Each structure stands twice: as C-alpha cells, then as structure tokens.
Amino acid sequence: MPKPFYITTPIYYVNDVPHIGHAYTTIAADVLARWHRLIGEEVFFLTGLDEHGQKVQQAAAQAGISPQAHCDRLTPQFLNLWKKLGISNDGFIRTTDAPHRAVVQRCLQALYDAQLIYHADYTGWYCTFDERFWTEKDVERGLCPDCQRPVEQLSESNYFFRMGRYQQRLIEHVQANPSFIRPESRRNEVLGFLQKPLEDLSISRPKSRLAWGIELPFDANYVTYVWFDALINYISGLEYLPAQPAENRVWPATVHLVGKDILTTHAVYWSTMLMALEMPLPHAIFAHGWWTVDGEKMSKSRGNVIDPYTVVDQFGADAFRYFLLREIPFGQDGNFSYESFIGRVNGDLANGLGNLLSRTVTLIQRCCRGTVPPSHASEVTQLETELQSAAELLIHKTMPDHLRADRLAFNRTLEAIWGLVQLGNQYIDRTAPWVLAKDPADSKRLQTVLFHAAETLRFLCVATYPFMPETAREVARQLGLPHDVSQMLLASPIAWGDGGAEAVVAKGKALFPRIDASTFLRQGDSMKTDQSAAPSPSTSGAASTATPRTEGTSSPPSQQEDGLITIHDFQKVHLTVAKVLTAERIPKSAKLLKLQVDLGTEHRQIVAGIGKKYSPDDMVGKTVVVVANLKPATLMGVASQGMILAAGDQEVQGLIAVENGDVQPGTKVK
C-alpha cells in the first residue's frame, strides 16, 4: 500500500480577495503534493475557505447582502486563482459546507460530554478586530498585543475549553518531537509561549453579538468561536471531500503549512483540541514567513499589494511559482520586487533552462534530422559521467532530502536543480557539438554528446515538474518524450540512458521569453493594485471605474509630444469580450451599477457608471467590452476590477457592443 501524504494549507478567511500570501502558501503545498505523487505516495492535498466570523458578517452587512451571499461571491476569486496557478488540490473545503458543520458540532458535543467544555462568566479585554479576549497581563496601554488596536472591557457569559489542562503534555510533545514545529526558530517561540500559564479558551460567542457561525449543539444561544470551527476543517475535510473513499487517507496530517502569524493557533489551540479529542497530533506544522514589497510591508493603504492575477497574466504561473520559492528560504520573510523577479526570469529561466532546451533541440534537428541519437559507449568520457552522476544525485538524493516535511528547503532544491541546468549548458559549451558536426569522423562523438544533453533535460523534466508543471510538460513535448511527466517516476525508477534515444524532437516557442526590463519597470506602478487611490464616483465621466486621472508623473516616455501613441502603447490595454451575469444598483447612487461579468477564464465584479441610461435588467446577458487590466478601485465602498467601454462624455449614451453576439467571453478585442 502506498504511503499516505496528507498536506494542508490554512483555510483562507473570505473577508478579502486573495493576495500574494495566499498564493505563496498554496503554491508551496502544491509543489509538495506534486512531488509526493511523483514518487508514488497517496496524496491528499486540502485547501479551502474559512467563512464564519465577525469580519465576514461585517463585510457582508457593508455590501448589503447576506454573509452566505458574500462568501459565495468571493469563493470564485480563490478557485479561479488556484486554477490559474496550476494548483492540484484534491479537496476544497468551505466551513459553511453542511458536513463540516456536522463534524464541528460532533466534536463540540464530545468535548462537552467529557466535561472538557464548561460554562462561565468572564470579564476580559476584547479586540473586535481579532475577535478574541485578552487578559489583563496581555494588554498594554489599552491596546491589543496582536494588532495594536484599542481593546474594550467586556463581560460575557461563555463556554470554555479546558485548554490549560494540556499545557504540560504539549510542552513534552514539542520537546520530544523536534520535527513537530518547524523551522527551529518557531519551535523555540512556541516553547517560550508555553512557559506562561496556558489559560482555558473561550470557544463560544453569544448570538446577540455574532450570529454568523456554527451553533453550539448544547446551547442555541451561542455560535462557535471561528478558530475552533476553522481548525476542525483538517479532520472534517478528510471525512467527506475525497472523491473516492481510500482506507489509506488517514489522520494525522503529514504537514500543515501556515503563515507565522497563525502558528500559535495551530501549535497550541489545535494541538490541545486534538489531545482532548484523543486524536494523534500532525507530524509537522511548518510556519513560513511574509512577503514585503520593495522593502515595505504590503498593505492596501500603501497601495503596494501585489495581485497574483496580474503577475500571472503578465509572466505566466510557472515564473511566479519559481520566483516565490527560489527567492527566499521558506521559513523566512522575503521581499518582492519586479527588479529581482525580472532578474530571475531572464537569468535562471530564459538564459538557463530555456537556453539549454532551445540549443539542444536545435542541434538535434540540425545534426541528427530531429531524432535523439544513440550514445556510444566508446565515446563516453569523464564529462558524460559527471553529468550523469549530477543528475542521478539530484533526483535520488538531493530532492528527497531537501523536500522532507521537516525541512522544506524549496530554495535549496531549486538551487540544486539549476546547478544541473548550468552543468548542462557548460557541457554543451565544452563539447561544442557544432564543431563536431563539421567532421564526419566525429559523428559518434557528436551523437553521444547530443544524447547526453537530451538525457540531462529528461532528468530536468522530472525535477522541475513539481515546481513548474506546465514548463516540464513543454520540455517533455519538445524532447519528444512519450511519457506523461507527472508519471515518470511512477512507471519505473528513472535511470540514465533509459530514455530519449529515437525520440523525435519538436522545436517550440521559447520557454521563457526574455523580459525587456527597461520597458517593463517603466509601467511597473500599474502592476500594483492601488485601492487607496480610487477617486470619488463623481469624477467618473462614463462607464468607468474611473482610472485615476491625476497621475501627472506617470505618462509613459514612449508617448510622443504630438499626442500619438504607438501600437505598443495601445496593446498595453487588455480589451476583452465579457458577458454580464448579474447586475444590481449600488444603494444611494443614481449612476453606479454593480455587475458580475464572465471573462471566460474568470468572473469579475465591475462597478460601472451607466445606471442613468441602463437598468440592471437591461444589462443581464449583454455582451460587452471590458478593460481587463485596469487597476482595481473602490467606488462607494464597492470593489471594482475593470471597466466597461461606453460612448459618451459627461453622460453615457451607449455601450460598446460586439456586433456578433455569439463571440465567446474572454475573446481578445484589438
């Protein structure tokens, strides 16, 4: 029976759209899931959404819709991003799923019956933002120790989980299992936290204050504290989400990936909950760091939030996946800048892997009529032996070592893979096949060299697949490999010399076109979503989400004095056919309509100033033209991700329509 590998991301809180942090954790989990499937393990990879709690209730109230409608509206933002990023999760859990709610209630009832949950009056300092109580000793100057917002004194009757009872047992578990909390620095942090007395945990909220949650099975006046509900997803998801029941898919999780901000919640709350439920603890909880942007903390108010959708649209999912995991060690904080991103794409990807593939395939086409030639034992020198040992070491030793659940050295793994890329390029430089090709007497040597270059790429296919699945598939396609890359280690252990010969290569497009850094960085600002800069609706003339019109300094240098633009300037605007799915008026606005539109690959919410000319009913089902790469903005408190084209200056006179109404959403307009 294959070994089970169960990996999770945190379930993401649906009070906002996904950002680079969500993408980072989920990509890391995906790489591990793909790697473990590749080596023949039975993988269950779970991610999902945390949909209860006060912030969701508040955000929904602000939008004037029910909390469930709010969650339903945001869910596609996550699902579409995972699709775009090539995430291969096996389950997607939403805490509003009925089976999840049933498991939460079952756990609560079990703990209540075992008298591990009790009722008590409690007075404490409450932080509304974090939805939690703090004790006197936690609070300094009246501020929440977590978010530094003012706390208020609150007296409340609540239910408590006897968390304190498990303190000693948890300390002993952490001490006895060095790989339980990773990396080491975080483990020390948890042990430090556990030196203070561990108090019991309030696990209920009175419905009078918060209605959006899972009702306690033993008291209908309360809902469950959002964390108690959310953490249970790791066991409920395993119960009802696998497509096929597999005996092998069992608790405990192999590794929970979490951001460092929610480590305590997992290491302490979740571990003690599991102890109380008499269930084993996960093998590893791995806390990763945070991303800053150009050296600053990412925040909406700074306007420097990196939108993963935008990066992927510009550069492709694989470049983004590569950069995030290559740039920094997984447990540490990192900085995102387009300069370093472009440096990696041009250096490692285009000049490194892309170049190795392109020159190998070209040489095989030119010198061997497009068929991978055989190797000749008499021609194998130390150069070939070195290449072979490096490739075998990478797949059989370095990768399994670095990707161990307690280590997760993604950056070291990629460094090692790119060591082989470099060796491959050096090999071609040294052997100079184009010189060998000139003399028929060297033909056996030439064949041996090209065979070994192709063999190196075959090993690189397997090595890069978990990180860059589409790239690996394209390399395999160009090399003419008959196997599905995702199955290459499953079919039989990969061995040097087994593959390649007689495969018919097919030259394709460059794997990673080089980015012209000077052109790109000039327009760099538009890559960041700047919600703080959204203008007031009154300045939006037509059907627009109103591009800020006051960016005096940012007019592109390529714009000529005569006001003419080049075709290149025009192509920066992504115009797309879209279909309007739903439309509604924005309260207190005569002009603004909120539309959900289908862009073919995703759904977007767009606020359009067309409400005087068109009613919501007019709009539903219409085919329109949308500016798809406009900076998101917020109008009357409603997020807008694009702009619908219309004619008219102060007043809208008509929408720009597509003459043939059958044109599919997502079709490019040019």
Please list the residues that pair with 387 across neighbouring strands: none
* CB 35, min distance to Zn ion, A: 37
Closest CA relative to residue 559, chosen from 568, 549, 547: 568
Amino acid 57 reads Q
**Tokens in use for 625?**
């033209």
**Segment near Zn ion (CB under 5 A), from 85-93, 140-148, 346-354, 474-482?**
140-148
d(CA 47, CA 656): 40
Residue 126 or 467 having the CB closest to Zn ion: 126
Residue 297 or 397 having the CB closest to Zn ion: 297
Residue 13 or 78 having the CB closest to Zn ion: 13
Q: Note whether 130 binds Zn ion by CB under 5 A.
A: yes
Residue 147 or 435 having the CB closest to Zn ion: 147
d(CA 661, CA 340): 44
Residues near Zn ion (CB under 5 A), total? 6
Count of positions (residues) in the chain = 670
Cα dihedral across residues 442, 447, 453, 459: positive or negative = negative
Residue 64 or 142 having the CB closest to Zn ion: 142
Q: Which of 23, 103, 144, 342 binds Zn ion (CB under 5 A)?
A: 144
Q: Note whether 258 binds Zn ion by CB under 5 A.
A: no
Q: Read out DSSP for 212-256? A: SSPEETTEEEEEE-HHHHHHTHHHHHHHH--SS--TT--SSPSEE
Residue 131 or 313 having the CB closest to Zn ion: 131
Q: Note whether 251 binds Zn ion by CB under 5 A.
A: no
Task: Please state whether 303 falls in left (phi above 0), alpha (psi between -120 and 50) or beta.
Answer: left
Residue 146 or 406 having the CB closest to Zn ion: 146
* CB 31, min distance to Zn ion, A: 33
Residue 205 or 528 having the CB closest to Zn ion: 205
d(CA 420, CA 460): 8
* CB 132, min distance to Zn ion, A: 7
Chain residues 23-82 in contact with Zn ion, contact rule CB under 5 A: none
Q: Read out DSSP for 28-97? A: HHHHHHHHHHHTT-EEEEEEEEE--SHHHHHHHHHHTS-HHHHHHHHHHHHHHHHHHTT---SEEEETTS
d(CA 584, CA 588): 12
- Residues 593-612 as x/- pattern, contact with Zn ion by CB under 5 A: --------------------
Task: Please state whether 47 falls in left (phi above 0), alpha (psi between -120 and 50) or beta.
Answer: beta
* CB 130, min distance to Zn ion, A: 4
Residue 259 or 556 having the CB closest to Zn ion: 259
Q: Which of 122, 129, 240, 520 binds Zn ion (CB under 5 A)?
A: 129
* CB 531, min distance to Zn ion, A: 22
Geometric angle at alpha carbon 593, from 312 and 541, rounded to 5°: 85
* CB 261, min distance to Zn ion, A: 12
* CB 618, min distance to Zn ion, A: 45
Closest CA relative to residue 481, chosen from 461, 451, 460, 503: 503
Radius of gyration of the chain (CA): 28
Residue 127 or 232 having the CB closest to Zn ion: 127
* CB 127, min distance to Zn ion, A: 3
**Segment near Zn ion (CB under 5 A), from 57-65, 146-154, 309-317, 379-387?**
146-154
SS3 state of residue 195: coil
- Residues 109-128 as x/- pattern, contact with Zn ion by CB under 5 A: ------------------x-
Q: Which of 120, 147, 246, 506 binds Zn ion (CB under 5 A)?
A: 147
Residue 290 or 520 having the CB closest to Zn ion: 290
* CB 148, min distance to Zn ion, A: 7
Residue 144 or 481 having the CB closest to Zn ion: 144
Residue 235 or 262 having the CB closest to Zn ion: 262
**Segment near Zn ion (CB under 5 A), from 7-15, 138-146, 170-178, 578-586?**
138-146
Q: What b/e readout covers 220-237, taking b as 16+ CB neighbours within 10 angstroms?
A: eebbbbbbbbbbbbbbbb
**Segment near Zn ion (CB under 5 A), from 23-31, 143-151, 218-226, 387-395?**
143-151
Residue owning tokens 């460059």? 510
Neighbours of 638 (CB within 10 A): 20
* CB 418, min distance to Zn ion, A: 42
Residue 143 or 191 having the CB closest to Zn ion: 143
Residue 139 or 669 having the CB closest to Zn ion: 139
d(CA 551, CA 33): 44
* CB 140, min distance to Zn ion, A: 12
Please list the residues that pair with 174 across neighbouring strands: none
d(CA 384, CA 427): 8
Q: Note whether 262 binds Zn ion by CB under 5 A.
A: no
d(CA 471, CA 467): 9
**Segment near Zn ion (CB under 5 A), from 145-153, 400-408, 516-524, 575-583?**
145-153
Report which residue's Cβ sits closest to Zn ion. Answer: 144
- Residues 402-441 as x/- pattern, contact with Zn ion by CB under 5 A: ----------------------------------------
Task: Give Cα separations from 156 to 210, 258, 413, 567, 591 (angstroms).
Answer: 13, 31, 51, 65, 45
Is the separation of the CB atoms in 375 and 499 below 8 Å? no
Neighbours of 61 (CB within 10 A): 13
SS3 state of residue 165: helix
* CB 299, min distance to Zn ion, A: 16
Residue 144 or 262 having the CB closest to Zn ion: 144
Q: Note whether 146 binds Zn ion by CB under 5 A.
A: yes
In degrees and rounded to multiples of 5, residue 504 shows phi and psi of -95, 120
- Spacing of C-alpha 632 from chain mean position: 19
Q: Which residues bind Zn ion (CB under 5 A)?
A: 127, 129-130, 144, 146-147
